[in-house]
């Protein structure tokens, strides 16, 4: 994930500035320049919206542990250990500076946690620092409207239709070798089937099957930082439910359900389009379906001479 440079929404850099952030031959951000840009951007957010600033820092952690290390090194000192709320951070870093002016009103229970839950994850932009010709044709999500990106995800999600045969095929699919330990845990869990049914209902009720499939590679859930890239344009409502699923679902249940929906959605997509792969940057809106009949045109003829 070192090939990706995270920058908060609004901190748009020119091509020359983006190239200056990369050390020749490594594409890793230079701490000196990154420190200045980060501090300026965070300070601007602090002045306008402290909750947004704190959230931007935490999202950098979810993107990549390497980015988090630079963020910790380059963040303004008054933020202290504010990055601690993100899952990718060690639990020992749990001290938060609640004295920041304007951040809280009535104590911790009404402060940061509530702000983060209400913020929209779509406010984060991920830019690729790449000199290859193919990067010129990549989609700049920062310039695509929220409605467009949401529409692509929701359209593809709603095209899936349940099929008993596909369900059976997914049930017979085996976890990858690197997930063999989770299969052992599932075999020893007497409530495994019940847990799968409960979490499967949660997925169906909230329409999370597409997000779960997009979070996998070859049927295996990607790490949190890579999932953040895959779901960068996912609608906010879907993303918040997915985050709850990833955090609260037992690992041996989560990996089994991820494999299931990875299989059934790719089979269904292959039948519909001839290609099992789908990504929002390559998706196009399908034309609306035409009616299978047309109402007759009524013409009144003048018989009165």
Rounded Cα–Cα distance for residues 289 and 10 (Å): 38
pLDDT, residue 249, reads 93
Contacts of 194 (CB under 8 A, 6+ apart): none
Q: Which two tokens stand for residue 169?
A: 């095929």
What confidence score (pLDDT) does residue 252 get?
A: 93
CA distance 177 to 236: 33
- Stretch (H or E) spanning 42: helix 31-48
The pLDDT profile of the chain, 305 residues, written as one tens digit per residue, is: 333 333 333 333 334 334 433 433 334 444 444 445 555 555 565 566 656 655 555 555 444 444 444 454 445 444 444 444 333 333 322 333 334 344 333 444 433 333 333 333 322 222 222 233 333 333 444 444 566 777 889 889 988 888 888 888 888 888 988 898 999 999 999 999 999 999 999 999 999 999 999 999 988 999 888 888 888 888 888 988 999 999 899 999 999 999 999 999 999 999 888 888 888 877 666 655 555 566 666 666 777 75
How open is the CA angle 234-2-258, to the nearest 5 degrees? 40
For the stretch 258-289, pLDDT in tens is 999 999 999 999 988 888 888 887 766 665 55
Residue in the structure block whose two tokens are 């989560």: 254
């Amino acid at each position: 994930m070192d090939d990706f440079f995270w920058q908060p929404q609004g901190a748009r850099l020119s091509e020359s500035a983006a190239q200056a952030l990369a050390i020749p031959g490594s594409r890793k951000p230079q701490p000196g320049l990154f420190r200045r840009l980060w501090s300026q951007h965070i300070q601007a957010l602090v002045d306008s919206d402290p909750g947004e600033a704190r959230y931007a820092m935490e999202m950098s952690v979810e993107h990549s542990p390497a980015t988090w290390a630079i963020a910790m090194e380059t963040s303004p000192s008054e933020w202290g250990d504010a990055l601690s709320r993100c899952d990718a951070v060690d639990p020992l870093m749990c001290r938060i500076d609640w004295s920041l002016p304007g951040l809280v009103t009535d104590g911790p229970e009404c402060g940061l946690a509530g702000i983060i839950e209400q913020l929209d994850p779509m406010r984060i932009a991920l830019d690729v620092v790449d000199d290859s010709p193919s990067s010129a044709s990549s989609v700049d999500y920062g310039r695509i409207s929220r409605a467009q990106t949401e529409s692509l995800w929701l359209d593809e999600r709603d095209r899936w239709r349940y099929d008993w045969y596909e369900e059976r095929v997914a049930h017979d699919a085996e976890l990858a070798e690197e997930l063999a330990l989770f299969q052992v845990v599932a075999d020893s869990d007497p409530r495994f089937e019940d847990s799968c049914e409960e979490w499967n209902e949660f997925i169906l009720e909230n329409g999370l099957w597409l997000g779960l499939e997009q979070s996998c590679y070859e049927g295996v859930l990607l790490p949190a930082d890579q999932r953040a890239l895959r779901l960068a344009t996912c609608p906010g409502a879907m993303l918040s439910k997915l985050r709850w699923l990833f955090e609260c679902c037992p690992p041996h249940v989560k990996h089994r359900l991820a494999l299931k929906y990875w299989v059934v959605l790719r089979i269904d997509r292959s039948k519909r389009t001839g290609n099992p792969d789908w990504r929002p940057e390559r998706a196009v809106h399908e034309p609306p379906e035409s009616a299978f009949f047309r109402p007759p045109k009524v013409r009144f003829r003048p018989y009165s001479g």
